[in-house]
Amino acid sequence: MCSWAAAGRRLSGCRARAALPGAPGRGGSAWPGGGRAVNLTELLQSSVGDEEAATRRQRPPQEGTVLLFPGQGSQFVGMGRGLLRYPNVRDMFRVAEKVLGYDLLSLCLRGPQAELDRTLHCQPAIFLASLAAVEKLNHQQPSVIENCVAAAGFSVGEFAALVFAGALDYTEALYAVKVRAEAMQKASEAVPSGMLSVIGQRESNYNFACLEAREHCKSLGIENPVCEISNYLFPDSRVIAGHLQALEFLQENSRKYYFKRTKMLPVSGAFHTRLMEPATEPLAEVLKSVEIQKPFICVYSNVDSQKIYALKTHSTFVSKAACFTC
């Protein structure tokens, strides 16, 4: 659907699928630059090709590029403003308004921040802005797209990675993100919860810290408290998610656990924990109706770090993708 698309047949001509309730019809190409999409598709295919061709070429590591798409928490008022002058970005926002039922562009540009931070708004915003940023990248440094060998994404960013790789149609993926975001918003409102970014040290014992935070919550009368590692960012850095009281306890006692720095993330819930389990069913249901193609490049999964291109069945993808929420 975008001019940089890894799979022009997937992205430069989004066709309607009646199986997606609420998704608007998508007859024909949504993009005025469809011809350029085909050219860039051929370019990416020629640079990546099928598995056998890729094996034969043995591209030197320094020549390959990897795109990593951001997740929830990276939103800010004004996001996307500098991308509107690049090809197709305004069209992406127009399509989004039809799929989402509200003016996402206005929300991104003018906020307010509190509304943009809500899960049901920020996930579609990050998804779209990430793909719009690829338009800019393709305009300024097309060699990065030409030499792309793999993609990945943090949480909702994995949907953007799959669209970029040609595995998912832009409009269908956006609709899935909409359903996901609404379900996670509802789940997060049921229990006051959040996520805490932690930079630790070699001495940091994250699991012990979470255990004591849960015990603290029990002392406050909270039944079955949640406080656990939800994301492994890099060595000595974690994201811990759970009840707000647990996260506040960790912040107050950060020196005890050898945490160098702690910061609450601008999200509305404890994502990637069992508090999000109610959100998995709506997402899994909509993903059953989404057409999934084999990616032209490797996409690495959030769930188990495996290459998504190796998935054998649609049901396997659905079960993995549903785990994006918990």
239, 230 contact by CB (below 8 A): yes
**Least reliable range by pLDDT among 12-16, 60-64, 131-135, 156-160:** 12-16
**Of the given ranges (10-19, 175-184, 242-251, 253-262), which has the lowest mean pLDDT?**
10-19
pTM over 0.85: no
The more confidently predicted of residues 312 and 325 is 325
Check 121, 216, 243, 272 and give the catalytic one: 272
Q: Which domains does the chain have, with CATH numbers?
A: 8-188+279-322 (3.40.366.10), 192-269 (3.30.70.250)
Active-site annotation holder among 3, 155, 204, 268: 155
pLDDT of residue 43: 43
- Which is nearest to 129 in space by CA: 148, 156, 98? 156
Q: Is 155 a catalytic residue?
A: yes
Task: Record the tokens describing residue 65, joined without a space.
Answer: 């590029």
How far, in Å, CA of 146 to CA of 128, rounded?
21
Is the pLDDT higher at 39 or at 117?
117
Bridge-based pairing of strands 193-199 and 261-264 is antiparallel
First to last CA, the chain: 29
